[in-house]
């Protein structure tokens, strides 16, 4: 199995292929046959080139919101879909206004569209956040399909739940990017848990349990 996450050589990045680890995927060149041709397909090539240009132009200067708007403009997308979580409606509204200020048309769709009850999908009352009674279910498949029906050229995901986002990705028919990933505890910054895993959360106490981190010896055993 590949273990790129723990590679200290990075032969791909450093152009030192003579130093590839034994399990480096580049030792299997047959896996890469045909890949360059995929990038040279018209739409793929344009996406790839514009992404590289944005990386060059705004490296460590532009934030993610600005990069996303620049990408949309440079790709000349006319109608942008926004698939957002009800808990991040304010953020979605701000982003929507920013796009419109740049002359970009938008179509925003909330996760609770359809008004389904969680009971409709086998979620028992005791597993609802509010207990018994109606509790709106997320509808990421509906978000994907309705945005496709609206004819969006590009979709932006803002804070869909873990798993619900998986279903959106599975059913979307349109190129997309993720602007915000949800983390209710860490202010939508999940990297904070990763940074803390070897810092303040490294011990075996409250913070490790709170953030669901494995014991330090287990976390570091693959180093």
Q: Is residue 1 part of a domain?
A: no
State residue 12's pLDDT score.
97
State residue 204's pLDDT score.
54
State residue 192's pLDDT score.
87
Q: Is residue 67 part of a domain?
A: no
Which of the four pLDDT bands, split at 50, 70 and 90, describes residue 132? confident
- Domain range enclosing 147: 78-182
**Residue holding tokens 């498949």?**
141
Q: State how far the Cα of 73 lies from the Cα of 81, in Å rounded to an integer.
A: 14
Q: State how far the Cα of 51 lies from the Cα of 182, in Å rounded to an integer.
A: 24
Q: Answer with the residue of higher pLDDT: 209 or 132.
A: 132
Q: Is residue 84 part of a domain?
A: yes
Q: Is residue 142 part of a domain?
A: yes
Number of helices and strands (H, E) in the chain? 10, 4
State residue 27's pLDDT score.
97
Q: Is residue 199 part of a domain?
A: no
Q: State how far the Cα of 181 lies from the Cα of 164, in Å rounded to an integer.
A: 12
- What share of the chain has pLDDT > 90, as a percent? 83
Structure tokens, 80: 């942008």
CATH number of the structural domain spanning residue 97: 3.40.50.1370
Mean pLDDT computed over 179-208: 81
- Beta-carbon contacts of 20 under 8 Å, excluding residues fewer than 6 positions away, are 9, 11, 26, 27
Say whether pLDDT at 217 is over 90: no
Say whether pLDDT at 108 is over 70: yes
Question: Do 78 and 105 touch, CB atoms closer than 8 A?
Answer: yes
Question: What's the total number of domains in the chain?
Answer: 1
Q: What is the pTM (predicted TM-score) of this model?
A: 0.89
Q: Is residue 203 part of a domain?
A: no
State residue 138's pLDDT score.
97
Say whether pLDDT at 88 is over 90: yes
- Phi first, then psi, for residue 199 (nearest 5°) are -125, -115
State residue 221's pLDDT score.
56
**Residue holding tokens 């600005």?**
66
State residue 98's pLDDT score.
98
What are the CA-CA distances from residue 4 to residues 156, 166, 194, 220 (Å)? 28, 23, 17, 15
What are the CA-CA distances from residue 88 to residues 25, 97, 153, 180 (Å)? 39, 14, 22, 9
Sign of the Cα pseudo-torsion (159, 164, 167, 171, in order): negative
Question: Do 46 and 71 touch, CB atoms closer than 8 A?
Answer: no
Say whether pLDDT at 5 is over 70: yes
Say whether pLDDT at 41 is over 80: yes
Strand pairing report for 154-158 and 79-84: parallel
- What share of the chain has pLDDT > 70, as a percent? 89
Which of the four pLDDT bands, split at 50, 70 and 90, describes residue 38? very high
Q: Is residue 114 part of a domain?
A: yes
State residue 146's pLDDT score.
98
Sign of the Cα pseudo-torsion (128, 129, 130, 136, in order): negative
State residue 44's pLDDT score.
97
Say whether pLDDT at 82 is over 80: yes
Average pLDDT, the chain: 92
Distance between start and end Cα atoms, the chain? 15
- Beta-carbon contacts of 204 under 8 Å, excluding residues fewer than 6 positions away, are 215, 216
Q: Is residue 33 part of a domain?
A: no
Mean pLDDT computed over 111-119: 97
State residue 208's pLDDT score.
62
């Amino acid at each position: 199995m590949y273990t790129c996450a723990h590679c200290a050589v990075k032969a791909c990045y450093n152009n030192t292929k003579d130093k590839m680890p034994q399990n480096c995927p580049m030792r299997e060149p047959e896996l890469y046959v045909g890949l360059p041709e995929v990038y040279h397909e018209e739409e793929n090539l344009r996406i790839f080139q514009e992404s590289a240009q944005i990386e060059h132009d705004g490296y460590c200067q532009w934030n993610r919101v600005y990069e996303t708007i620049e990408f949309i403009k440079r790709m000349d997308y006319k109608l942008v879909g926004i698939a957002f979580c009800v808990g991040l409606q304010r953020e979605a509204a701000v982003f929507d206004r920013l796009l419109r200020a740049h002359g970009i048309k938008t179509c925003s769709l909330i996760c609770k569209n359809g008004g389904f009850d969680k009971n409709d999908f086998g979620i028992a009352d005791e597993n609802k956040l509010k207990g018994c009674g109606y509790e709106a279910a997320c509808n990421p498949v509906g978000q994907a399909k309705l945005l496709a029906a609206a004819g969006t050229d590009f979709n932006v995901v803002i804070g869909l739940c873990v798993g619900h986002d998986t279903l959106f990705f599975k059913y979307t028919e349109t190129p997309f990017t993720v602007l915000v990933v949800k983390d209710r505890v860490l202010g939508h910054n999940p990297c904070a848990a990763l940074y803390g895993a070897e810092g303040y959360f490294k011990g075996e106490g409250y913070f490790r349990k709170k953030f669901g981190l494995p014991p330090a010896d287990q976390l570091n055993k693959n180093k």
